[in-house]
Chain A
Amino acid sequence: MAVIALESLTKQYPGVTALDGLTLELEPGIIGLVGSNGAGKSTLLKILLGLIAPTSGRATVFDLDVQTRGTDIRQFVGYLPEHDALPPDTSATDFVSHMAEMSGLPRAAARERTAEVLRHVGLYEERYRAMGGYSTGMKQRVKLAQAIVHDPRLLLLDEPTNGLDPAGRDEMLELVRRTGTEFRMTVVVASHLLGEIERVCTYLVAIEGGRLLRAASLGSFTERTGVLAVEVEDGADGLAAALDERGLKARVMGRTVLVALDDERPYDLVRDLVAELGLPLVRLEQRRHQLEDLFRDGPTPDGDPASSGAPPRGTVP
């Protein structure tokens, strides 16, 4: 059963098309929704929640239309918004239990679940304090807690690691992974950070400019991600040109030449060429986390990667 189904979903704002005929079916699992800022990730999540109405097309969650069955759907959906969304003068306990009641839980159950969920996200004594004094990490945990307090079947997380330091990011991602796998919730994690999303999800959806770039299981994405990075003191351009002559896709990024690794052939060839050209070799490594290249080249898998500019590391250009 598809948890989420979209049929040529389109959302237009004056002057901007946020979603452009998106058609997609998503099965239960942990789904990464990747795209640059403004790609339409938040818009999609908000349409699924019924917060905004699509211009055309249809979206269903649990086979219910988001436009007409909003309240039925939302009883079983948790949402972590991208921006700060906590009243500073209220304690986490009061706030999360109020939100549980707002999802339809009886008062006693709401209080009980609040205690459990706040423990689950790692908030202890501080949960009785006003949230105005919380750190960003604690606030993010409360936002996750309010999203799962009513035990939803679908959890929509919009940039859950926003504003967190690296340790906080690791903890948040681990929480997301655990919540998704151990409690069998379908989780949609929207992020512009591929490296992060790759660590928690089993399925990836890439959107750009409101259009679907690719949707596939994580495995099929990473199969094609082999890239050999050759770092040289100088002469990177010469090496890239020589590789091109021999029919290999190569691209220069500063002092590094990136070579597509479709098979074993480039290893020997690079070794020979470096020796032949007498280049001062600094490093030779096989890189992972190159999903961004793939996304950009997604629609034209056989396109020449060298023709595009260097992508910023870790984000979709």
Chain B
Amino acid sequence: MTAEGPGVDGAPRPGNIYDLGYHSYDGPRLGRPQAIRALFAHTLKTCFGIGRGGRAKIAPVVLGGLATIPAIVAVGAFALLRQAIGTSDEIQQASPVQHDTYYAIVTIPVVLFCAAQAPEVLGRDQRHNLLALYFSRALRRVDYALARFAGVAAAILVFVLLPQLILLLGFVLSAEDIGTELGRELEAVPAIVGQALIIAGLLGGISAAVSAFTPRRVYATTAIIVLLAVTPIVSTVLIELGTTTLATLLVLLSPTDILEATNAWLFDTRPDSGAVRQSDLPLAAFGIAAAIISAACVAILVRRYTTIAA
């Protein structure tokens, strides 16, 4: 089949003599790639409440604010102090808000963002019977699952990277020697981006996979919060009790502990979490755990959408 064939029998359709506002379409048909692109963009926009009512924007705006405000405050305070005192290096070092500490600052907003927005995107399609419409268009079920996941992950990426970008620009622009500062900041970029990708893959994968199993938003949101917030508590308690082997295994399944460990791994710092420290595992192991869990979640997601009734 050619993409531009206009009529059923290959002949061009006759012009419409009634002005009904409807004409045949002879323009380009971009097929599956366009459908995948459109679904990805739609997911990204939906995560931030774009193209929908005001109520849909509350969660992303509030959580985005919570994640970004520390960066803005830190940059502002740094600029003011530098003008007042002068020596910028010590002030900058003394600030608790740094690239390597930012993950700890945004953990709660980013977890809540995932718990609020992934069910919004995925549960909505099931709640309103939209899957039949999506699956009857120019894409495959696998494409649907992957485009939705990629959209959620991209939204998390934006969510995590935006404050880091503010921090980076703020530090560079308010530095005495912009060139030196820029060089130093750019050294941190691989770690920033690497950690953001791990966060997006792991939290995006978990929250999308959970959301795919229920049309009910409340259930999905609760399940995601339980998975992300309760596992570290369990692992900490187990370590306190001294059952080390089990706790070690569990800490490799606890998403927030994993992310803390990869953060320390990538930025070459010491992890704060007692569970991560006491597990005595090499930090790279957490990177591997993150990759495996992300991949498993995506596989579950694909499997779910290739078998779900539509």
Contacts and interface: CB of A to CB of B under 8 A. Distances in A.
B9 A85 contact: no
A146 B133 CA distance: 9
A81 B135 CA distance: 12
A128 interface: no
A199 B309 CA distance: 33
Interface string A103-117: 111110100010111
Interface in B161-203: none
Contacts of A83: 129, 132
Contacts of A79: 132-133, 136
Contact of A94 (B51, B124, B133): B51
A102 B52 contact: no
B53 A74 contact: no
Interface in A113-159: 113, 115-117, 119-120, 130, 146, 148, 150-151, 153
Interface string A167-187: 000000000001100111110
Interface in B31-60: 31-32, 34-35, 37-39, 42, 51-53, 55-56
B132 A105 contact: no
A101 B34 contact: yes
Contact of B31 (A71, A115, A179): A71
Contacts of A76: 1
Contacts of B310: 46, 51-52
Interface residues of B, number: 47
Given A51-B132, A72-B1, A116-B23, A106 B28 contact: yes
A193 interface: no
B20 A178 contact: yes
A85 B1 CA distance: 29
B149 to A, nearest CB: 17
Contacts of B51: 90, 94
A116 B21 CA distance: 5
A212 interface: no
A64 B1 contact: yes
Nearest to A110: B38
Contacts, number: 141
A71 B278 CA distance: 52
A81 B133 contact: yes
Contacts of A183: 13, 16, 22, 24
Contact of B21 (A52, A64, A119): A119
Interface string B101-129: 00000000000000000000000100011
A267 to B, nearest CB: 43
Contact of A87 (B20, B128, B140): B128
B128 to A, nearest CB: 5
A24 interface: no
A contact residues, range: 35 or more
Nearest to B30: A104
B139 interface: yes
B9 to A, nearest CB: 7
Nearest to A148: B22
Nearest to A156: B136
B132 A85 contact: yes
Contacts of A146: 133
Given A71-B139, A75-B138, A101 B22 contact: no
Contact of B28 (A72, A94, A109): A109
B16 A182 contact: yes
Given A71-B139, A71-B140, A89-B52, A105 B24 contact: no
B53 A98 contact: no
Contacts of A130: 53
A142 B25 CA distance: 19
A269 B38 CA distance: 69
A102 to B, nearest CB: 4
B130 A87 contact: yes
Interface of A: 1, 3, 28, 46, 49-52, 62, 64, 70-72, 74-77, 79, 81, 83-90, 94, 98-99, 101-107, 109, 113, 115-117, 119-120, 130, 146, 148, 150-151, 153, 178-179, 182-186
12 contacts: A71-B139, A85-B133, A89-B56, A90-B52, A101-B34, A101-B35, A104-B31, A107-B38, A151-B25, A179-B22, A182-B20, A185-B8
Given A79-B132, A105-B30, 15 more contacts: A51-B132, A51-B135, A52-B310, A74-B138, A79-B133, A83-B129, A98-B38, A103-B138, A106-B28, A119-B20, A120-B21, A120-B22, A150-B25, A183-B16, A184-B8
Q: What are the 5 A-B residue pairs with the smallest beta carbon separation, nearest first? A: A101-B38, A119-B21, A151-B25, A120-B22, A102-B137
